[in-house]
Every structure is written in structure tokens, then in C-alpha cells.
Chain A
Amino acid sequence: MADDRLIIAGREFKSRLWVGTGKYKDFAETQKAIELSGADVVTVAVRRVNITDRSKENLLDYIDPKKYTILPNTAGCYSVEDAVRYSRLARAAGVSDLVKLEVLGDERTLFPDTAGLIEAAKILIKEGFIVLPYTNDDPIVAQKLVDVGCPAVMPLAAPIGSGLGIRNPYNLKIIMEMIKVPIIVDAGVGTASDAAFAMELGADAVLMNTAIAGAQDPLAMAEAMKYAVHAGRLAYKAGRIPRKLYATASSPIEGML
């Protein structure tokens, strides 16, 4: 699989597992988990700097932007205006035009407001952003996001942090067949088999945070996810056997007594 590269907007990514940086015990654990996951894309949130306690450490002291692609997100934004504002701030604070765009519609489900998402994507793409949108598992919305210029689409597997796994594999499969840009399954993964399943469906990558950070042993889970994503990708490329209702013997009848 040496030539099995993931390319988005002209950028090449080595890892098909992308990870978030929230919910870890401390920055040392964050750093170690990311390292063990093998991820080379790391998503971060944009928030006010602590101006009263400057002794607090900075995330970027632990996650070297030279080693990882820092993917700022607009987590927590519930309006087009906020998502656009946070994207602009992320670009001003960082070094690239990449943004994982979230326009959330509801606090309880954290489902995306897809109408707002498309609108915000349009505005940001006009400003030169590379917009990776967090969206629902809706193929029509995914296509609209591509039509406005998103170079990849990030449909959810299940609600953020829910750990429910792939709730609608059929919709995700349709998205993967219909949409001609990379598909990154984002949110809802609970354990390694979920990640492998997403990859077996044909996802180009999987992004997760809570499944690793919230595990009882985040470091072990980070490693498990690395292998799961790799195994799922290999299985997808290998091409699985068709499902059949009845048995087919795998040993020959010939030579039996």
C-alpha cells in the first residue's frame, strides 16, 4: 500500500486516522496518545487565551505544528457568523487555510445545521479557506458541500462523543459512492471495530477524539485505532467476499473416504 496516499486539496496525508485533542488528562497524555495513534492530522479548538495565569502550558508546546497538520475547528459554533468568525481567527492564529467547519444546530445532539454549514462554507471558500465540513450522513448535503468547493466531506457516524458507532452504513456507503472527493468519517466512533467498519465501507479516513481520550486506557486505545484503521483500509482495498445465506465448503470433497 505504499502508493495508497490520501490527498486533499493538493496536500498529502500519511495517516488515515485523524484525531482530536480534547478530554485528555493532560498535555503529556495528549501527546503520547497522538503519537501512538500514528495520526498526522490533529484537530484543535480556538478559544480565549488565559490572560490571568500565564504559567499554564500551551497545547502547541506538545503538538509540534512542524510534525503535525494542525486542523483548527469551529467547535461550539451555532451560527454561520460565529463559524466564519472563528475560522478567520483560526487562520490568523495559525499557519494555514485549513478549517474543520462545524455549524451546530442543536446542543443535545450536536447535529450539524447543514443549511448554515453550506452557507458558511461558501463564504469561507471565497476567502481562500480549505473547508473540511462536519456534516450529517446525508448524500445530498454532501454533494452540495462539494459543489460549493469543499475538497473533502466529513459525515458523522453517530452524534459527537456518543460512541454509538456507524449508525447508518447505507447512507455512508451512498455518500462514498456518489461523492468524488475524500470522505472522512467524523464523530461517533466508539471502539476499534467501528473505525475498521468505516474504513471497510470505503471511507478515506476517520476522525475521532472521545473514543480514544475517553477510553479507560487512552494510550492503548490510540494504538488499537491505528491498527483498526489500517486493517479496515487493507480489507477495503482487498475486496471482501459477497455475503451468502448458505455455506460453501472451503475444503475439497475429493479425496474423502
Chain B
Amino acid sequence: MDSAIQIHVNGQAQTWRSGTTVADLLCDLDIKTEQVAVELNLEILDRAAFGQRLLNDGDRLEILGFIGGGSL
């Protein structure tokens, strides 16, 4: 079996296969890429880069989208 990596996705500790790209992760989580922003270790990624960007052990990934809200 491939080696595993430990990463944080939206604050949750998760284990993924090494070699996973951001696009793979979004696909596995059933998240449509056109409606989210992805921040990897505080760097906002271009959508075009999701497919090339490999995840590494210890990465902190944030996936954000639009929700209902006026002013809070």
C-alpha cells in the first residue's frame, strides 16, 4: 500500500494516500471546484492549480464557500 499522509482539512485531522492532489481530495469529498476557494497552508490556490498541487504530510487545507449571511 502507498504511504499515508496526515493532513488537516477544515480543521479536521484526516489521513490520505500520498500522491493525492487537491483536485483528488475535492473529488473524493464530492465538492464542486467551481464554488469553493481553497487555501493550502495559508496560500490561496488558483483553481487551475488544483490538479497539479500535491498534498504533503502536515498540510493544513481550508475549503470555503458561500453561505447565507447578511452581516454578522
Contact surface of A with B, Cβ cutoff 8 Å:
19-24, 27, 30, 43-49, 51-52, 54, 58-60, 70, 72-73, 75-76, 88-94, 102, 110, 134, 160-161, 186-187, 207-210, 213
In the complex, besides A21-B69, A24-B68, A27-B68, 19 extra interface pairs with C-beta distance below 8 angstroms are A20-B68, A23-B70, A44-B67, A45-B69, A45-B72, A46-B64, A49-B31, A51-B29, A51-B63, A58-B35, A59-B67, A60-B35, A73-B69, A75-B71, A89-B39, A89-B64, A160-B70, A160-B71, A209-B70
Instruction: Look across to chain A and name the residue whose beta carbon is closest to the beta carbon of B9.
Output: A51
Q: Which residues of A contact B31 (CB under 8 A)?
A: 49, 51, 54
Contact A93 B72 (CB under 8 A): no
Provide the bound-state CA to CA distance between A134 and B70, in Å: 11
How many contacts A-B (CB < 8 Å)? 118
Within 24-63 of B, Cβ neighbours of A (below 8 Å) are at 29-32, 35-39, 44-47, 62-63
Say whether, besides A90-B37, A93-B35, A93-B36, A48 and B64 are in contact (CB < 8 Å): yes
Instruction: Look across to chain B and name the residue whose beta carbon is closest to the beta carbon of A100.
Output: B71
Question: Smallest distance from the beta carbon of A86 to chain B beta carbons, Å?
Answer: 8
Contact surface of B with A, Cβ cutoff 8 Å:
9-12, 29-32, 35-39, 44-47, 62-72
Say whether, besides A51-B12, A75-B72, A76-B72, A45 and B67 are in contact (CB < 8 Å): yes
Contact A47 B37 (CB under 8 A): no
Contact B69 A54 (CB under 8 A): no
Contact A72 B72 (CB under 8 A): no
Provide the bound-state CA to CA distance between A172 and B9, in Å: 44
Contact B65 A93 (CB under 8 A): yes
Contact A92 B37 (CB under 8 A): yes
Say whether, besides A46-B64, A49-B64, A210 and B37 are in contact (CB < 8 Å): no
Say whether, besides A48-B10, A51-B9, A89-B39, A186 and B68 are in contact (CB < 8 Å): no
Q: Which residues of B contact A110 (CB under 8 A)?
A: 71-72
Q: Which residues of A contact B70 (CB under 8 A)?
A: 19-23, 43, 73, 75, 160, 207-210, 213
Instruction: Look across to chain B and name the residue whose beta carbon is closest to the beta carbon of A20.
Output: B70
Provide the bound-state CA to CA distance between A44 and B67, in Å: 6
